[in-house]
A and B are shown apart, each in its own frame.
Chain A
Amino acid sequence: MDRVRMGIIGCGRIADLNILGYLDHPQCELTAVCDISEDLAKQRVKQWGAKKYYTDYEKLLADPDINAVEILLPHRLHLPAVEAAAQAGKHISLQKPMCSELWEGRRMVDAAKKAGVWLRVTENFMYYPPFRLAKKWMDAGEIGEPVSLDIKLGGGMGGWWVPLKTWLWHIDPEKCGGTPAVYDDGYHKLSMAKFLLGDIETVKAWLDFSFAVLDLPSLVTWRHKNGVLGIWEVGLGVNLMMNHKYYGADEWFEVTGTRGVITATRCTSRVMEIPPLILYKDGQHIAIDDIRDDWGDSFHDAAWHFVDSLVAGKQPDLSGEDGLYLMKFWKAIWQSTCEKREVQMEEIKEGEAPKNA
């Protein structure tokens, strides 16, 4: 493939970010957009310069001008949309989290494999430039052998406008397919844990709930197969106003090694006005200030990676299998919370689809 002709399915709030890299990649053109709201679809055509719009994704998938799609639909619609896209022969970038049930994820992976198309589950944190540099440092042994990973998520007020209906389905466990903080937003953190330190062996978690539906504050701990320990603290500041243009949340990542520490922050928000990446080793601080550190950059680079991979004819990172693995990580967290015990990853089975599915 020498050119990616992209169709965007779902033009809601997050599309503002997912679209960024598709608009300026020299080997990508935005062929069509699709949204159930015709007004929104028309608005996006104008805003992004797409050639056409649809209000029914089946029609977009039947369009022979399109060879790849970005699916940005509510989670419960992922399975039918991915299966239809695969059947139509389109390469697929699917918004995280992949699925609610593991059998759904397996069906998506199988559908893509059978159709001979690439499936990747989009997760932008992995492309945040400070995190990529942190990973490079770790691989180069700058902090010695990693010992522990600390992640902190602070949820608060503020951020950009999100339609009320969108918020409501995100925080309704039945519509969302899981909990809003640890499952939905948490996918990014689980993905980062795997990206930085590899596969997980065992999980122990405590999810508390506020206001009936918000899984905040919570605490998730785990051990990687290489022995590194991970801890993720999910906090909620009821009156904590976050100062940023995206969502009202902020993250802090710290990897401690046998001879140094890497701290990365400022991804979603800017609670800490410190350099986005700091390396401490041999008694010295190395602070990296001159690096792209806007959250939008991570979405931009995720889109570029997808296009570059399709042009090169290879599987993009964050494959369907990776997406399924992260869903197993989530299931282990949930099981640990419900059963109040440590859960081994190998206990998590994909299970069979219900007969009527």
Chain B
Amino acid sequence: MPEFMADLVAKLAFRFARYWVLNRSDRYIARSLKVARRIVYAVSGDETVSNAIREMSEVFEEGGWSTDLVRRILREATPEYAVAILRSILRAD
């Protein structure tokens, strides 16, 4: 996929994800992430992405201060920043 297209997809995905996280409960998000993780792993077999989603689902499962913080950051985050973070999380190391 050309880079401009990947960026566009990531920015749209970010807007959707932000709306979703800001408007759904922790438990709902945790459950959805678990399902998403299974699907992503089945389709791609990518452990890096799968582990990143698992970590996120654990955070939402636990809830409390950490998800409050995630929402505070999301309210101020820009799509460009989110794309950079995603690239950082999804890098291979």
Interfacial residues, chain A to chain B (CB-CB below 8 A)? 157-161, 163-165, 168-169, 171-172, 174-175, 210-213, 238-239, 241, 245, 248
Decide: B91 and A158 in contact? CB cutoff 8 A.
Answer: yes
List, in ascending order, chain B residues with CB within 8 A of A171's CB: 69, 73
Given contacts A164-B56, A165-B58, contact A212 B72 (CB under 8 A): yes
Decide: A165 and B70 in contact? CB cutoff 8 A.
Answer: no
Q: How many residues from B make CB contacts under 8 Å with A?
A: 22
Given contacts A165-B59, A168-B69, A213-B69, contact A238 B91 (CB under 8 A): no
Is B32 in contact with chain A by the CB < 8 A criterion? Answer: no
Q: Give Cα distance in the complex from A175 to B59, angstroms.
A: 15
Count, A-B residue pairs, CB within 8 A:
52
- In the complex formed, the residue of A with least CB distance to B48 is A161
List, in ascending order, chain A residues with CB within 8 A of B73's CB: 171, 211-213
CB distance from B50 to the nearest CB of A (A): 14
Main secondary structure on chain B at its contact with chain A? helix
List, in ascending order, chain A residues with CB within 8 A of B6's CB: none
The residue that B81 contacts in the complex, of A159, A165, A213, A238, with Cβ under 8 A, is A238
Contact with A along B36-68 (1 / 0, CB 8 A): 000000000000000010011011000001100
Contact with A along B60-93 (1 / 0, CB 8 A): 0000011001101101110011001101100101
Decide: A158 and B88 in contact? CB cutoff 8 A.
Answer: yes
CB distance from A261 to the nearest CB of B (A): 34
- In the complex formed, the residue of B with least CB distance to A157 is B88
List, in ascending order, chain A residues with CB within 8 A of B91's CB: 158
Q: Give Cα distance in the complex from A245 to B73, angstroms.
A: 26
18 A-B pairs in the complex with CB atoms less than 8 angstroms apart? A157-B84, A158-B91, A159-B88, A164-B58, A168-B59, A171-B69, A172-B66, A172-B69, A174-B65, A175-B65, A210-B76, A211-B81, A212-B73, A212-B76, A238-B84, A239-B84, A241-B87, A241-B88
The residue that A163 contacts in the complex, of B55, B75, B77, with Cβ under 8 A, is B55
- In the complex formed, the residue of A with least CB distance to B54 is A164
List, in ascending order, chain B residues with CB within 8 A of A168's CB: 59, 66, 69-70
Q: Give Cα distance in the complex from A160 to B88, angstroms.
A: 9
List, in ascending order, chain A residues with CB within 8 A of B66's CB: 165, 168-169, 172
List, in ascending order, chain A residues with CB within 8 A of B76's CB: 210-212
List, in ascending order, chain A residues with CB within 8 A of B72's CB: 212-213
Decide: B80 and A165 in contact? CB cutoff 8 A.
Answer: no
Decide: A239 and B88 in contact? CB cutoff 8 A.
Answer: no
The residue that A239 contacts in the complex, of B52, B59, B77, B80, with Cβ under 8 A, is B80
List, in ascending order, chain A residues with CB within 8 A of B58's CB: 164-165
List, in ascending order, chain A residues with CB within 8 A of B69's CB: 168, 171-172, 213
List, in ascending order, chain B residues with CB within 8 A of A174's CB: 65
Decide: B65 and A212 in contact? CB cutoff 8 A.
Answer: no
CB distance from A158 to the nearest CB of B (A): 6
Q: A164-B59, A171-B69, A238-B80 are in contact. List 5 more A-B contacts (CB 8 A).
A: A157-B87, A158-B91, A168-B59, A172-B66, A238-B84
- In the complex formed, the residue of A with least CB distance to B86 is A157
CB distance from A67 to the nearest CB of B (A): 36
The residue that A172 contacts in the complex, of B55, B65, B93, with Cβ under 8 A, is B65
> Max chain A CB contacts within 10 Å: which of B72, B75, B80?
B72
Decide: A248 and B88 in contact? CB cutoff 8 A.
Answer: yes
Q: Give Cα distance in the complex from A213 to B91, angstroms.
A: 24
CB distance from B10 to the nearest CB of A (A): 12
- In the complex formed, the residue of B with least CB distance to A158 is B88
